[in-house]
Every structure is written in C-alpha cells, then in structure tokens.
C-alpha cells in the first residue's frame, strides 16, 4: 500500500522538529563546556590550537571540522572545557583584516598568519644575502597590502668595506620607499630601533632558515620563560637548519606582538597571476603601459620602456631580473603541477 504524501506544511513541520532535535543534541554536546568567549590563536598544532583569553591564559582547543583553516593570529570564538585534562573547542573565526598566504600543491593556497600589520623580512650575510628572497616577500606584501620592513642581521660579521658594499645593495629598497634596518644579535646593534618599529603592531618575522629569527626574538623577549629554539648554519651545505616547527605569537614587553614563522628557503608565488607579480614591483608602476607593444614581456620585446629605464639607472637591474626569475619559477612549478595531475 502506497504511503500518503506529506503536504508542504507537514514537510515544514517535520523539518522544524528535526532542527529542534539537532539544537537539543548540540546543547547536550556543549553541556561540558563554558559559555562562548573571544580569544586569539597563538599557535596551531594539526587539529588543535592554543588560544589565549583576555586574561592572558592559554588553553589547548580542538578545532571544529567545519571551520576554515585556522592560523596564528586568528581571532576566534571558543569554549573552555569544564572537564579536567580535556581540550576546549573553537567554534567560529572572526573576519581577518589581513592574511599572509603561500601556495600549496594540494590546497591551492595555505594561510600562514592572520591579522598581521607588518611583515619583517629578515635576511643576513650568512647563509647569504639573497635579494631574490627579499623581492619575493615584497611582492607578497604588496599583494596583501601588508607593510614590509627589511632587516639585515649579523652585520657584526662585516668589515667596513663589506658593510659599505652591502648597504649599497640594500639602498635599492630605501630609494623605493621601504624601511631597511641593520642589526646584530652578537652586540645588539640596531635592536633598540627594531623594538621601536615593532611597538604597538602585530608583526610576523619571515626569512630563510639560519638568518637569526629566533636569536632576534630571544633578544626582544628577554623574560620569556622558555627561549625560542635556535639553529645555526650547516657546515656542509652552508644553509640554515630549521628550528621553529610551527608559527607562534609572542607578546612584546613594551606592547605589540610578533609571530615567528617556520624558516623557509624559498617563498613561492606561483598562486599569483603575472599581473599581480608585476604590481608587486611598485617602482615599475610609472612605466607600465609605456612600452611600444601592448603584450611586451619586458625581457626581449623591442621598444620595452622598463628595459630602457633600467639602462638609464632609474630602476635597479636586480629588480627586473628578479621579476623575470619569479615568473620563470611560476611557469616551471605550474608546468610540473599540471604534469603531476594529468
């Protein structure tokens, strides 16, 4: 015998009762948790995160599976567990006013940190002073509208002639309008100036492994209960040894916060479009559209205005070179990715 069909009103009543049962079940599942409150994620560990409340207390919390990727710096709504030795739970994430991301083969882009005011790009004379790495980070900053600050560490290793040469290289960036600081963890030169720049801001420290991020943080946080793990330079490869394993937020004594990110040797930008990359070189802006051909590649196309202003000394050759290197890397990675997933 066929079942009688439900009317639309009956369907709505059934659906409403179903939602009521779900709500009751949710309330029962939250019976062992406190009322919701705001907090800040100071570190992420797989499916869990450390959340700091308004009193400065830190709680390990599980992350609801339905939430988007949570990163250090996120402002969240969470509940404390009322049972001992049990994680709290993160229920929601407030909108981010800024987000630093990096490309990921599986997820497209992967957030690195949220709600950051400025990115402190740390380089050093060892493992090497890489203008290409600096330019990659500057492109990321320009595309996310986050203020960059360039810091050169380990300047105590330079003699007067070497320092003059290094400062000449980095003058490129001061002429463009970027702030460049010179510091040494060995003799603490420039640390006071860096402290002033960080005060009252949320800053993320980025750069290659071995440039001294953790050593700088230890100087900025002299009363931290546990020093940030530091790593040196491999004697075999002369590359930095990775130390920090996950991004973590620390409070500065005089106000402001810093986020220490995992050391990386290359910052990929292949999730961006070429138009976004060239906009990341902000001194190019006045000359774009002035080339003889509209589809100019700014490399070997005749009548390129960018090539001309480089020859005239108005733009540093390394900047145009690094622009092309970034595009080349993007093309190589995208070709490799397409080959893998075909």
**Per-residue pLDDT reduced to its tens digit, 290-328:** 999 999 999 999 999 999 999 999 999 999 999 999 999
Tens of pLDDT, residues 122-142: 999 887 789 999 999 999 999
pTM of the model as a whole: 0.81
Phi then psi dihedrals of residue 242, to 5 deg: -65, 140
Residue 200, pLDDT score = 96
Task: State the pLDDT confidence band at 286, using cuts at 50, 70 and 90.
Answer: very high
Alpha-carbon dihedral sign for residues 69, 337, 321, 285:
negative
Q: What is the DSSP string of 238-307?
A: -PBPP---S-EEEE-TTS-EEEEPPP-S----TTS-HHHHHHTSGGGGGGTT-SSSTT--SSS-TT-HHH
Q: What are phi and psi of 49, to 5 degrees?
A: -150, 150
- CB within 8 A of 35, min separation 6: which ones? 79
Round to whole Å and give the CA distance between 73 and 50: 11
Task: Check residue 214 and give its pLDDT.
Answer: 85
pLDDT score for 195: 97
Which burial class, exposed, middle or buried, applies to 195 when counting CB atoms under 10 A from its CB (0-12, 13-18, 19+)? Answer: middle
Cβ-in-10-Å burial (0-12, 13-18, 19+) of 44 comes to buried
The pLDDT tens digits of the residues spanning 244-285 come to 457 899 999 999 999 987 645 456 788 889 999 999 999 999
Under the banding of pLDDT at 50, 70 and 90, the label for residue 65 is confident
pLDDT at residue number 158: 95
Q: Are 211 and 240 in contact (CB under 8 A)?
A: yes
Angle between helices 213-220 and 191-198 (to 10 degrees): 80
CA distance 264 to 318: 22
Q: Which domains does the chain have, with CATH numbers?
A: 37-93 (2.40.50.140), 99-260 (3.40.50.300), 274-340 (1.10.40.50)
């Amino acid at each position: 015998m066929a079942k009688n069909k439900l009317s639309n009103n009956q369907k709505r009543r059934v659906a409403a009762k179903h939602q009521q049962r779900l709500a009751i079940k949710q309330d029962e599942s939250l019976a062992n948790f406190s009322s919701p409150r705001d907090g800040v994620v100071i570190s992420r560990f797989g499916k869990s995160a450390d959340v700091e409340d308004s009193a400065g207390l830190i709680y390990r919390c599980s992350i609801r599976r339905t939430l988007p990727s949570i990163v250090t710096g996120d402002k969240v709504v969470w509940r404390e567990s009322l049972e001992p030795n049990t994680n709290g739970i993160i229920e929601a994430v407030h909108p981010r006013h800024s987000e630093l991301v990096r490309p990921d083969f599986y997820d497209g882009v992967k957030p690195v940190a949220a709600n950051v005011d400025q990115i402190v790009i740390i380089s050093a004379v060892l493992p090497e002073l890489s203008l290409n790495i600096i330019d990659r980070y500057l492109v990321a900053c320009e595309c996310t509208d986050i203020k960059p600050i360039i810091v050169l560490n380990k300047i105590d290793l330079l003699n007067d002639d070497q320092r003059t040469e290094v400062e000449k290289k980095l003058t490129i960036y001061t002429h463009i309008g970027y702030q460049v600081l010179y510091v040494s963890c060995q003799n603490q030169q420039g640390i006071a100036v860096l402290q002033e720049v960080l005060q009252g801001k949320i800053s993320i420290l980025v750069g290659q492994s071995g440039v001294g991020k953790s050593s700088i943080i230890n100087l900025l946080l002299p009363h931290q209960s546990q020093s940030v793990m530091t790593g040196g330079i491999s004697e075999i490869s002369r590359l930095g040894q990775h130390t920090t394993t996950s991004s973590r937020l620390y409070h500065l004594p005089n106000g402001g916060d810093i986020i220490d990110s995992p050391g990386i040797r290359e910052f990929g930008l292949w999730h961006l479009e070429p138009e976004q990359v060239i906009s990341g070189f902000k001194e190019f802006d006045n000359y774009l559209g002035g080339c003889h051909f509209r589809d100019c590649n700014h490399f070997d196309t005749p009548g390129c205005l960018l090539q001309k202003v480089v020859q005239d000394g108005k733009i540093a050759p390394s900047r145009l070179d690094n622009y092309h290197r970034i595009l080349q890397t993007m093309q190589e990675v995208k070709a490799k990715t397409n080959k893998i997933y075909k």
